[in-house]
Copies of this chain bind each other. A is one copy, B any other.
Amino acid sequence: MTEARHATEARRPAGTLERHGHIGTQREQGPKKPGALSDGQGPAGPDGHEATVLLRESRASVDPELRSAIASLPASMRRIALYHFGWQHADGTPAGGNAGKAIRPALVLTSAAALGGPGARTAAARAAAAVELVHNFTLLHDDVMDRDTTRRHRPTAWTVFGDADAILAGDALQALALRLLAADPHPASPAAAARLADCVMELCEGQHADTAMERRAPGEVTLDETLAMAEAKTGALLGCACALGALYAGAAAEDVEALDAFGREAGLAFQLIDDVIGIWGDPRRTGKPAGADLAARKKSLPVVAALTSGTPAAAELAELYAAPYEEGEEDLERTALAVERAGGRDWAQVQAADRMARAVQELARAVRDPEAAGGLLALAEFVTRRSA
C-alpha cells in the first residue's frame, strides 16, 4: 500500500491545504532506493518474507487477468490504462512496469486460500483483478481532483492525456471491474459485484468527507469523523478485498463480515502508521522530506488527535495550523513538537496497535486454523510494519 505515498506533496507551495489521503489509498513515496517498500519487492528480511512471497505470487496470478481485461478496452481507453499501470510509455511503447505492489489482489487471493484452499484461490483471480481495477479507477480520478502530478514515480495520467481522458479512463476501469465479475460464472460473483459496487460508493463518500474536512477550520474537525473518513477511504477497499476472497471460498456470511472487518481494521492501522510517518518519518526511508504533511497543514489522524486533546499544546498547534507554512525547518519542528506534546503521536501509535489487535481478533473469528490465517496476518503486518 505504500505505493501511494505522494511524491508531489513535498513540491506543493507552502500553505496549500492538502487532502488527508486519496480514494481508497495512501500517499505515494518519492524516488527511493531499489528494494525499499514501495518498489513492489519489499524487504527480504525474515519478518517480511512471507508477505513478499505472497505479493509476488498474487501478482503472478492476477496480472494475466488484469492484462487481458485491459486488452479488451476500446483503443483510446486501453492506451491510458496501459500507461497508468506502467506497462506502456505515453507514446505507446512497452514499459518495464511499476503497477504497485497490488496488496489488494493479494488480500483477495490470500483470503480465498485461507477459507477455501488453493482451489478457491485460483477461482478468485478474476475478483482480485476487479478489486485492483477499482483501486486504479479511484487513483485516476483522485489524481485529477487533487492535481497530483506524480504517481508511482511517473507523471500522472491527467498530466499526459488531459483531465477528460483521465476521467474517462477511470470510468472505463470501473465498468471493466464490474464487467469482470458480471461475466464470471462463479456462484459468488453476483454477491461479489454487489459488494464491490457498495464499496465504490463508500470510497466516494470517504473521498468527499476528506475534501470537505480539509476545507474546514482545524478546530471544526472531530477525531471520530476523521477516523470514519479514513475507514471509508482506506479501510473499505481493503475490507472489501478480504470479503470478496471469503465469498469466493464459499464462506458463511459471518466469516465474510469478519474478514471485511479484519481488512478495515488493518487498513486503519496502516493509515495511522502512515500518518505518523508523514510527520516523523525518516526522509531516507520514506523518500520524502520530513514534515511534508505538516507543511501542507494536513488534518491527518495524529494532528486531529492533537488538536482535539484540550491540552495547551493543542492551542499552540491550532495557532500554527491557522497560518500557512513558513519555509524553513523551524516551523515544522515546532509543529511536530506541538503534535507530540499534545499526545497526537502516542495516540496514533496506541490506536494503530489497538486496530491491529482488533484485526487479528476478527481474523481469528473467521479463520480458526492459525496456519491458514498466517498469510493474511503476514500481509497485515507487512503493510503496517514501517516504523516511524
- A4-27 CB mask vs B (1 if < 8 Å, else 0) is 000000000000000000000000
Q: Are B182 and A190 in contact (CB under 8 A)?
A: yes
The reply to whether B205 and A77 form a contact with Cβ atoms under 8 Å apart is yes
In the bound complex, CA of A208 to CA of B178 (Å): 21
The complex is assembled from copies of this chain, and their number is 2
Contact bitstring A263-280, B, C-beta under 8 A = 1, else 0: 000000000000000000
Asked if residues A164 and B145 are in contact (CB atoms below 8 Å), the reply is yes
Complex contacts, A181 vs chain B, CB 8 Å: 182
Minimum C-beta distance from A132 to chain B (A):
16
Assembled-state Cα–Cα distance A194/B169 (Å):
18
Whether the Cβ atoms of A171 and B208 lie closer than 8 Å is no
A108 proximal to B (CB < 8 A) = no
A131 to B26 Cα, complex, angstroms: 33
Question: Do A205 and B167 have beta carbons less than 8 Å apart?
Answer: no
- Is A175 among interface residues, defined by CB-CB distance under 8 A? yes
Minimal Cβ-Cβ distance residue in B for A190 = B182
How many residues of chain A get a CB closer than 8 Å to chain B's CBs? 43
- Please name all residues of chain B whose beta carbon is closer than 8 Å to the beta carbon of A74 when the two chains form the complex: 201-202, 204-205, 208
Kindly provide the distance from the CB of A315 to the nearest chain B CB, expressed in whole angstroms: 31
A150 at the binding interface (Cβ < 8 Å): no
Cβ–Cβ contact A178 & B182, under 8 A: yes
A355-374 near B? 1/0 per residue, CB < 8 Å: 00000000000000000000
**A88 to B319 CA separation, bound complex (whole angstroms):** 39
- A174 adjacent to chain B (CB < 8 Å): yes
Contact with B along A340-364 (1 / 0, CB 8 A): 0000000000000000000000000
Q: Decide if A216 is an interface residue (CB 8 Å cutoff).
A: no
Q: How far, in angstroms, from A112 to B182 measured CA to CA in the complex?
A: 21
CA distance A212 to B77 in the complex (A): 13
Q: Is the CB of A208 within 8 A of B144?
A: no
A200 cross-chain contacts in B, Cβ below 8 A = 171-172, 174-175
- Can you list, as one digit per residue, whether each of A144-156 has a CB less than 8 Å from chain B (1) or not (0)? 1100000000000
- How close is A263's CB to chain B, nearest CB, in angstroms? 19
From A163, A179, A181, A211, name the one whose CB has the most chain B CB atoms within 10 angstroms. A179
**Residue in B73, B171, B209, B211 whose beta carbon sits within 8 Å of that of A174 in the complex:** B171
Question: Do B168 and A194 touch across chains, with their CB atoms under 8 A apart?
Answer: no
Provide a sorted-by-A list of 9 A–B residue pairs whose CB atoms are within 8 angstroms: A74-B202, A141-B167, A168-B204, A174-B200, A175-B178, A178-B178, A179-B197, A182-B191, A190-B190
Give the B-binding residues of A (Cβ under 8 A): 73-77, 137, 141, 144-145, 163-165, 167-172, 174-176, 178-179, 181-183, 189-191, 193-194, 197-198, 200-202, 204-205, 207-209, 211-212
